[in-house]
Structure 1
Amino acid sequence: MNKNFLALGLAAALLAPQVAGAEGFAINEWSAEGVAMGGARMFAEDDAANVAYNPASITKVKGEVMKSSYTYLSPHGSYKADIKDSVKPGTGETIPADLEYGHNKVHAGWAVGSYYVRQINDKEWFGIGAFPRFAMVSEFERGTSGKPTMVSTNAFFSKLNGVSVTPTYAHKFDKKWSAAVGAEINYVGLELQKNLVIPTAGVNGTTQIEGESYALGWNAAANYAFDDKNEIGVVYRSRIKHSLEADLKGYGTKSPASPLGGSNDVFGNAYGVVTLPDSWDIGYNHKFDKKTRLELKATRTNWSTYDALNVYFDKSIVGIPGIAESSPSAKNWSDGWRYAIGLEHNLSDKYAVMAGFAFDESSIPYNGGDFIVPTGLRRTYSIGARYNDKKQTIAVALGWMDVGNLDFAGHATDAYKSAHAYDSFTKIASISYQRKF
Structure 2
Amino acid sequence: MNKNFLALGLAAALLAPQVAGAEGFAINEWSAEGVAMGGARMFAEDDAANVAYNPASITKVKGEAMKSSSTYLSPHGSYKLYDSTGNEIKNEPTHNKVHAGWAVGSYYVKQINDKEWFGIGAFPRFAMVSEFERESKASSNAFFSKLNGVSVTPTYAHKFDKKWSAAVGAEINYVGLELQKNVNLNLGPLGNVNGTTQIEGESYALGWNAAANYTFDDKNEIGVVYRSRIKHSLEADLKGYGTKSPVVGGGDVFGNAYGVVTLPDSWDIGYNHKFDKKTRLELKATRTNWSTYDALNVYFDRSLIGVEGYVDGSPSAKNWESGWRYAIGLEHNLSDKYAVMAGFAFDESSIPYEGGDFMVPTGLRRTYSIGARYNDKKQTVAVALGWMDVGNLDFAGHPEKGDAYSSAHAYDSFTKIASISYQRKF
**Structure 1 residues 273 and 341: alpha-carbon distance in aligned structure 2, compared to 1, 3 A threshold:** same
Equivalent pair of 1:17/1:111 in contact (CA under 8 Å): no
Cα distance, 1:156 vs structure 2: 0.8
CA distance in 1, matches of 2:6, 2:178: 30
Equivalent pair of 2:83/2:407 in contact (CA under 8 Å): no
Cα distance, 1:103 vs structure 2: 1.2
Cα distance, 1:179 vs structure 2: 0.1
**Structure 1 residues 433 and 384: alpha-carbon distance in aligned structure 2, compared to 1, 3 A threshold:** same
Equivalent pair of 1:304/1:332 in contact (CA under 8 Å): yes
Q: Deviations over 1:331-363 (max 9, x none)?
A: 000000000000000000000000000000000
Cα distance, 1:200 vs structure 2: 6.6
CA distance in 1, matches of 2:289, 2:14: 26
Equivalent pair of 1:295/1:343 in contact (CA under 8 Å): yes
**Structure 1 residues 94 and 348: alpha-carbon distance in aligned structure 2, compared to 1, 3 A threshold:** closer
Q: Residue 117 of structure 2 aligns with which residue?
A: 125
Task: Give the aligned length.
Answer: 416
**Structure 1 residues 206 and 14: alpha-carbon distance in aligned structure 2, compared to 1, 3 A threshold:** farther
Instruction: Report SS of the residue matched to 1:21.
Output: coil
Equivalent pair of 1:17/1:110 in contact (CA under 8 Å): no
Q: Which sits farther off after the overlay, 290-299 or 193-202?
A: 193-202
Cα distance, 1:10 vs structure 2: 5.1
**Structure 1 residues 94 and 175: alpha-carbon distance in aligned structure 2, compared to 1, 3 A threshold:** closer
**Structure 1 residues 68 and 85: alpha-carbon distance in aligned structure 2, compared to 1, 3 A threshold:** closer
CA distance in 1, matches of 2:87, 2:104: 50
Equivalent pair of 2:158/2:165 in contact (CA under 8 Å): yes
Cα distance, 1:17 vs structure 2: 5.0
CA distance in 2, matches of 1:174, 1:320: 68
**Structure 1 residues 180 and 92: alpha-carbon distance in aligned structure 2, compared to 1, 3 A threshold:** closer
Q: Deviations over 1:194-232 (max 9, x none)?
A: 166759722100000000000000000000000010000
Cα distance, 1:250 vs structure 2: 0.2
**Structure 1 residues 121 and 188: alpha-carbon distance in aligned structure 2, compared to 1, 3 A threshold:** same
**Structure 1 residues 7 and 265: alpha-carbon distance in aligned structure 2, compared to 1, 3 A threshold:** farther
**Structure 1 residues 2 and 357: alpha-carbon distance in aligned structure 2, compared to 1, 3 A threshold:** farther
Instruction: Report SS of the residue matched to 1:94.
Output: coil
**Structure 1 residues 295 and 140: alpha-carbon distance in aligned structure 2, compared to 1, 3 A threshold:** same
Cα distance, 1:110 vs structure 2: 1.2
Q: Deviations over 1:296-348 (max 9, x none)?
A: 00000000000000000000000111110000000000000000000000000
TM-score by length of 1: 0.90
Instruction: Report SS of the residue matched to 1:101.
Output: coil
Whether 1:286 aligns to 2:280 is: no
Q: Residue 47 of structure 2 aligns with which residue?
A: 47
Q: Which sits farther off after the overlay, 6-15 or 51-60?
A: 6-15
CA distance in 1, matches of 2:407, 2:86: 24
Of the candidates 207, 214, 217, which is equivalent to residue 217 of structure 1? 207
**Structure 1 residues 73 and 314: alpha-carbon distance in aligned structure 2, compared to 1, 3 A threshold:** same
Of the candidates 221, 225, 238, which is equivalent to residue 235 of structure 1? 225
**Structure 1 residues 334 and 261: alpha-carbon distance in aligned structure 2, compared to 1, 3 A threshold:** same
Equivalent pair of 1:260/1:319 in contact (CA under 8 Å): no
**Structure 1 residues 44 and 85: alpha-carbon distance in aligned structure 2, compared to 1, 3 A threshold:** closer
**Structure 1 residues 105 and 289: alpha-carbon distance in aligned structure 2, compared to 1, 3 A threshold:** same
Note the residue ranges of structure 1 that are not aligned, 5 or more in a row: 143-148
Cα distance, 1:23 vs structure 2: 3.3
Q: Deviations over 1:158-205 (max 9, x none)?
A: 000000000000000000000000000000000000166759722100
Equivalent pair of 2:213/2:224 in contact (CA under 8 Å): yes
Cα distance, 1:152 vs structure 2: 2.2
Cα distance, 1:375 vs structure 2: 1.1
Equivalent pair of 1:236/1:279 in contact (CA under 8 Å): yes
Equivalent pair of 2:323/2:350 in contact (CA under 8 Å): yes
Equivalent pair of 2:106/2:123 in contact (CA under 8 Å): yes
Equivalent pair of 2:42/2:53 in contact (CA under 8 Å): yes
**Structure 1 residues 4 and 342: alpha-carbon distance in aligned structure 2, compared to 1, 3 A threshold:** farther
Equivalent pair of 1:196/1:206 in contact (CA under 8 Å): no
Cα distance, 1:150 vs structure 2: 2.9
Q: Deviations over 1:55-100 (max 9, x none)?
A: 00000000000000011111111110xx6779xxxx99999xxxx4
**Structure 1 residues 227 and 374: alpha-carbon distance in aligned structure 2, compared to 1, 3 A threshold:** same
Equivalent pair of 2:32/2:382 in contact (CA under 8 Å): yes
CA distance in 2, matches of 1:374, 1:410: 12
Q: Deviations over 1:25-79 (max 9, x none)?
A: 1000000000000000000000000000000000000000000001111111111
Equivalent pair of 2:153/2:169 in contact (CA under 8 Å): yes
**Structure 1 residues 288 and 135: alpha-carbon distance in aligned structure 2, compared to 1, 3 A threshold:** same
Instruction: Report SS of the residue matched to 1:42.
Output: coil
CA distance in 2, matches of 1:301, 1:347: 35
CA distance in 2, matches of 1:42, 1:215: 26
**Structure 1 residues 312 and 231: alpha-carbon distance in aligned structure 2, compared to 1, 3 A threshold:** same
**Structure 1 residues 196 and 110: alpha-carbon distance in aligned structure 2, compared to 1, 3 A threshold:** farther
Equivalent pair of 1:166/1:184 in contact (CA under 8 Å): yes
**Structure 1 residues 338 and 94: alpha-carbon distance in aligned structure 2, compared to 1, 3 A threshold:** closer
CA distance in 1, matches of 2:139, 2:351: 21
**Structure 1 residues 32 and 259: alpha-carbon distance in aligned structure 2, compared to 1, 3 A threshold:** closer
Q: Which sits farther off after the overlay, 20-29 or 388-397?
A: 20-29
Cα distance, 1:20 vs structure 2: 4.0
**Structure 1 residues 356 and 4: alpha-carbon distance in aligned structure 2, compared to 1, 3 A threshold:** farther
Equivalent pair of 1:18/1:136 in contact (CA under 8 Å): no
TM-score by length of 2: 0.93
CA distance in 2, matches of 1:362, 1:170: 34
Equivalent pair of 1:14/1:163 in contact (CA under 8 Å): no
Cα distance, 1:423 vs structure 2: 1.0
